[in-house]
Amino acid sequence: MQRSILSPGVEIFERDLSLIAPQNVGTNIFIAGYAQQGPTDEVIKITSRADLDQIYGLPTNSAERYFYHGVRELLNSPAHIYTSRLPYGSGQGTGFGSEYSALVYPAKTYDSALSAIKSDFTTLSSTIVLGSPVHVTLSENQYRQIQEGSLFTWSQSGCNRSQLATFSDLGKAGLIILNKSQTTINSQFEGYYVGIADNTNINPASNYDAILGAKTVSVSANTGFTSNFTTIPTGTFQFSLTSTPNGKSGSISQIMENLTDYNIDGREDDDLLNVGVFKLRKSLYATEAYKLDYVLDGAVVGSIDSYRTRPNQLGGPFVSFYLENEDSNDRNIEILVNPYVSNKFGSTAVGSDGKPTRKIRVLTNTLSAASVVATGITKLADYSTLYSDLGLSDNIYPVGTYSGGQVSSKELGEIPAKLERALEAVKNDEIYDIDVVVEAGLGTIYTITELLTSTYYDDTIYTTGLSASLGSLRTSNALGTTGENIRADYSTIFNKFENFCNLPSNTGGRGDCIFIADPIRHIMITGKNTKVLADRTKNFQTDIYWAMRHQFELENTSYACSYANWAQVYDEFLGDKIWVPFSSVAGATFARNDSAEFPWSAPAGYTRGLVSGNVVNIAITPNQKQRDELYKSNLNPVLFSPSQGMAIFGQKTFSRKPSAFDRINVRRCFLALERPTKKASIFFVFEPNTEFTRTRFVNTITPIFEYAKNNQGVYDYLIVCDERNNTPEVIDSNEMRADIYIKPVRTAEFVLVSFIATRTDANFEELI
């Protein structure tokens, strides 16, 4: 340690070596589906039946019942439930359109040395001032041309806001925010909005007033350019736009001024821009008839300097801190910075003192009150000129186009695209802990609607044509064209889920959760309430086993599993029993298993695999030989015993490779060990790669594995993090490596009991 006192005395130092690894708490389950009401394209945590009914309403059709009763089954367990409602409507559904759009921000330069406003962006020692944006509607071709760089040519000169009137003028903008997800604004102002803020007003002691209003588009912008926005009345808001440091928290401005978890109000951060993406939608809990609330959907903070870098949280060389690169994880917007503003064709605008010589400023009412040092603008009179030229930008602005129509029919639209967007919302493992993802029948809904070329789903419909098409699966021979199409349609949904759960290195997914898939309903249940095997002309081998085997025979992953059944529950709204997907029932069983035992305990059998909740019946009750056939195809049986009740009697994953990972308990054991290990390891990034650090690392994560060993999760383990795998070459690459060898506990799935008859005079000690 290095002392800081210069004269004799005592100086106290503290060093924290008490790091402990976090523990997994509870079972987090994600479920997506259709609902009668409630916010779409948003993740909501459901904690009670009252929440479920109030937010999503009561189910009115088959697709809604799958989602509703799936959540209800999970509520009958200790699970933490994350939900997402898929929007109705064609394409990607309501809230999405066929057009792209952009917010185009005019900009000018303020030369501090000359105390003059200029249009030239080439002066490095200057302040770039952004004004009120112009909303531009783009065709798909124009959007692609912008990405390719062929629609316009970037200019080194800025312009007034009024001069942004044609597509060739876009090159004069300082900043362009593209709406890459084709979101829309409806007649009730619901949709996605963008706010921007610089770092002049981010001091925690100052008021939160970066955003003073909300603007929207209220007519179709087919003409291309819209500069006249409609002001949303503040009386429609359930929230505040501004607040004071000691006032009510949660205002839009407070969120905008705290998009980072570190301080950026210093002069070394004068080239940073905050971009917040807010979703405005009807409030879930407002007492008035109609109020708008907001959700922060995205946050991008970066430098306008294309050469700026920041430390890599994962270690190694510094990474880019350029604003255009920081938006890569946002699902709604793409940011373009004028290359003459970012000085892409020159060199960095950061001086030898580490402070940028080029500042970025958003023109607001509060900007003129900031210090000259902060703003870079020396003359108060110049603010009036800038206001006149550029307009104020202290509002949130609509990033989408206007779409006044409301979806009146329950058209399912493009289910794979909607599902992918819902999964994208929970992909960040630093925000959402997800252990299990359930299909909730979406594969059945998509497959059947594709077969019927229908825009809606009704599981009671079972036409002759549908029967014949599904019959193509019921064969022990190779599939024909129809059967292959059915399998491909289902795999489209399966692959969305599996890619989400699999490793980032394999599919770009999370790599820390498991997916529970469902067989197609019509394989086992036809019409409203008819079991296939109730028809004596049908048999298990051909009509059930081969159909399910063909459905899943392309799947090969340890991050997914399936239970060969559907469940019957009572629906009080219909006053009748209905059939629902088994994946949610299995997810609830997982949660109860984890609560009573551990994630590495097999969620199966009469001890931990009992089916409870609202289930009153199952679609098939396979005997031992039938269960053998299912298990050989990695399909987990569910059986009914008059004495024990209904129970899950299998725990295979879809891994075709005969290894430890073909069992659910082993896969979930590794997931339960990997997550806390990852969370603990992040604190060793940037630590000295020495024997002391490596020993601390081993000592920190060892309790994770000791806990599993002491609770029947692993037989034994070995953690290697020393000079054996941290060679000089590894250390010189700024890496610290750890190899963890695990002997996972296997389950006794086959209990073999031998009864041996012996002679009366036999000596047992000699026989054994």
Q: Return contacts of 422-425, CB within 8 angstroms, 24+ apart.
A: 422/32, 422/41, 422/84, 422/86, 423/32, 423/496, 423/497, 423/500, 424/331, 425/41, 425/42, 425/43, 425/84, 425/331
Same domain flag for 584 and 631: yes
Q: Give the per-residue pLDDT at 222.
A: 47
616, 631, 665 - which closes a domain: 665
Is 277 a member of any domain?
Answer: yes
Same domain flag for 248 and 157: yes
User: Token digits for 536?
Assistant: 């004596």
User: Residue 481: which H helix or E strand, with range?
Assistant: helix 481-501
Question: Using an 8 Å Cβ cutoff, are 195 and 278 in contact?
Answer: yes
Question: Using an 8 Å Cβ cutoff, are 559 and 517 in contact?
Answer: no
Is 15 a member of any domain?
Answer: no
Range of the structural domain that residue 385 is part of: 100-402
User: Token digits for 369?
Assistant: 């009150």
Same domain flag for 394 and 525: no
Phi, psi of 455 (to 5 degrees): -95, 0
- What are the per-10-residue average pLDDT scores of the chain (768 residues)? 78 79 88 93 94 92 96 96 95 86 95 88 90 94 92 94 94 95 89 94 84 86 76 92 85 92 88 95 73 92 93 76 90 94 90 90 89 85 92 94 71 95 93 96 97 92 91 93 96 97 91 97 94 92 96 96 96 92 97 94 94 92 95 95 91 94 95 94 90 94 95 95 94 93 87 79 80
Q: Give the per-residue pLDDT at 221.
A: 46
Q: Looking at residue 532, which CATH number applies to its domain?
A: 3.40.50.11780
Q: Give the per-residue pLDDT at 638.
A: 96
Residue 580, beta-bridge partner list: 567
Is 494 a member of any domain?
Answer: yes
Same domain flag for 161 and 49: no
Which of 654, 595, 652 lies closest to 74 in space, CA to CA?
Answer: 595
Same domain flag for 512 and 654: yes
User: Token digits for 511?
Assistant: 């790599």
Give the 3-state secondary structure of residue 695. Answer: helix
Angle between helices 415-425 and 481-501 (to 10 degrees): 10
637, 665, 693 - which closes a domain: 665
Is 518 a member of any domain?
Answer: yes
Question: Using an 8 Å Cβ cutoff, are 73 and 591 in contact?
Answer: no
> In the chain, how many H helices and how many E strands?
21, 34
Q: Give the per-residue pLDDT at 220.
A: 55
Same domain flag for 126 and 207: yes
CA distances from 315 to 250, 318, 323, 682, 735 (A): 33, 8, 21, 9, 8
Tokens 């108060």 — which residue?
380
Q: Give the per-residue pLDDT at 650.
A: 95
Which of 489, 411, 409, 334 lies closest to 91 in space, CA to CA?
Answer: 411
Please tell me the pTM assigned to this model. 0.84
Q: What is the DSSP string of 288-357?
A: SS--EEEEEEEEEEEES-TT-EE--TTSSS-EE-BHHHHGGG-SSEEEEE-TTTTTTTS---B-TTS-BS
Same domain flag for 290 and 394: yes
Chain centre to alpha carbon of residue 737? 29
Is 735 a member of any domain?
Answer: no
Q: How many angstroms separate the most distant Cα atoms in the chain?
A: 115
Same domain flag for 395 and 424: no
Same domain flag for 62 and 105: no
Which residues, including other chains, have CB under 8 Å from residue 563's CB and lie 6 or more apart? 516, 518, 582, 583, 585, 586, 635, 636, 637, 638, 648, 650
User: Residue 48: which H helix or E strand, with range?
Assistant: none
Q: Give the per-residue pLDDT at 93.
A: 86
Is 583 a member of any domain?
Answer: yes
Give the strand pairing for 714-720 and 739-744.
antiparallel
Same domain flag for 516 and 579: yes
Is 409 a member of any domain?
Answer: no
Same domain flag for 331 and 263: yes
> Which parts of 169-316 fold into alpha helices (H)?
252-256
Instruction: Give pLDDT tens digits for 221-275.
Output: 445 888 889 999 988 999 999 999 877 788 999 999 999 888 888 899 999 999 9
Q: Give the per-residue pLDDT at 1.
A: 65
Q: Give the per-residue pLDDT at 378.
A: 85
Is 749 a member of any domain?
Answer: no
Which of 232, 221, 282 lies closest to 97 in space, CA to CA?
Answer: 221
Question: Using an 8 Å Cβ cutoff, are 237 and 190 in contact?
Answer: no
613, 636, 665 - which closes a domain: 665
User: Token digits for 101?
Assistant: 């759009």
User: Token digits for 130?
Assistant: 């952004």
Same domain flag for 151 and 295: yes
Give the 3-state secondary structure of residue 286. Answer: coil
Q: Give the per-residue pLDDT at 619.
A: 96
User: Token digits for 430?
Assistant: 């630093």
Q: What is the DSSP letter of 96?
A: B
Number of domains in the chain: 2
* Cα 713 to Cα 747: distance, rounded to the nearest angstrom: 10
